[in-house]
Amino acid sequence: MEEIARIEDRTVVDIERCLQDALVLLGADSIEAAIRMIEKTA
């Protein structure tokens, strides 16, 4: 998360919040579940 925040010039808290929002929107309970959902639609 720290590296992503640095690359995006944002805080770790911002990145974590965005990730949590994305998981909620996808209805996923983990990053792995979200990836599986996205792969099924690709």
pLDDT in tens, 1-42: 999 999 999 999 999 999 999 999 999 999 999 999 989 987
As for how many domains the chain has, the answer is 1
For residue 34, what are the domain limits? 2-41
DSSP string, 3-24: HHHHHHTS-HHHHHHHHHHHHH
At 42 the pLDDT is 76
Q: If we measure between CA atoms, which residue out of 40, 37, 6, 13 comes closest to residue 21? A: 13
The pTM (predicted TM-score) of the whole model is: 0.74
